[in-house]
Amino acid sequence: MTTDATGATEAFDAFERGAWAGRAQAYAGSFGRLCAHPVGALLDAAGVGEGTYVLDAGTGTGTAAVVAQGRGARVRAVDAAAGMVAAARARGVDAVGAVLPELPFADGEFDAVVGNFVLNHVGRPRAVLAELRRVLRPGGRIALTLWGARRGAGQDLLGRACAAGGSVPPAYLPRLDAGEDFVRTPQGVAQLLGGAGFVAAEATELDWDHRTTVEEWWGGAAAGIATVGHVVTSQERETARRIRDEYERLSAEFADEVGELTLPHVALLAWGAVEAVPSAPVHSAG
């Protein structure tokens, strides 16, 4: 990796760690409900059930870990943000702080690894996948969700409001280094998993309607969560007011008779496995 690429990657990771600091409660009350939707499909893809030993990588407030525990799985969890670790632990999750791509676990420790919307937030996705593979046993399964290239109409609501309000993205927003990026399609993510050594790698799109309110959906951006949140909170007061006005105008497209929003979303679900150790041949006597 060149010096420039290393600097870009370090800047990306540093921004992501800082972006989530102190925002666990705001996330749980806004975008956290959105990200909870694919958890069932995520756990199914990883084969999580009774007795499965699972790592939830980038657990956030612990939603996937809690559901896995409800299935009878034994769960460990990690997150880079201390506030997220505390929120997960408050929900009964065995969570510790760890910054991907470094994990405090032994080789082959887990039956399954899941990561719910984590791969979008790391500067070295291939190194992260290699580390997740390291802690999986032979035959163990991985499943990941992430935001892809195709987006739902409701997904773009806040971004459209920012554009209509005349926002200027802050200069400090980092970009993933081109050498670390990958194609955000089912085929592209399956190839990424395959390149990391996972076998039977596949991916698909998930689409769903997220039910929320005008205030709740705005609350995530107003709290500075995700890229759109940094765009919103970095604007001058008058620009921020215009963005809010445009948001209220545009949100009417998705509102029902009582004012609640139905926001179409699209995400990617990918899964694969570590190759199982082949059984030793059985030799007959004689």
Note whether 149 and 185 are within 8 A (CB).
yes
Distance of CA 269 to the CA centre of its chain: 10
Residues 6+ apart with CB under 8 A from 145: 35, 38, 42, 115, 116, 117, 206, 267, 268, 269, 270
CB atoms under 10 Å from CB of 160, counted, come to 15
Whole-number pLDDT of residue 286: 45
> Residue 10 to residues 4, 24, 100: CA-CA distances in angstroms?
10, 23, 12
CATH class of 3-153+174-210+266-273: alpha beta
Whole-number pLDDT of residue 13: 86
Type of residue at 88? A
CB atoms under 10 Å from CB of 275, counted, come to 13
Whole-number pLDDT of residue 275: 96
Q: What predicted TM-score, i.e. pTM, was given to this entire model? A: 0.93
The domain ranges of the chain are 3-153+174-210+266-273
Whole-number pLDDT of residue 16: 85
Residues 6+ apart with CB under 8 A from 117: 35, 58, 145, 146, 147, 267
Kindly report, residue by residue over 262-272, the tens digit of the pLDDT: 999 999 999 99
Whole-number pLDDT of residue 99: 95
Using 70 as the pLDDT threshold, list the residues of the chain that sit under it: 1-4, 278-286
Cα of first residue to Cα of last residue in the chain, in angstroms, is 57
Note whether 52 and 228 are within 8 A (CB).
no
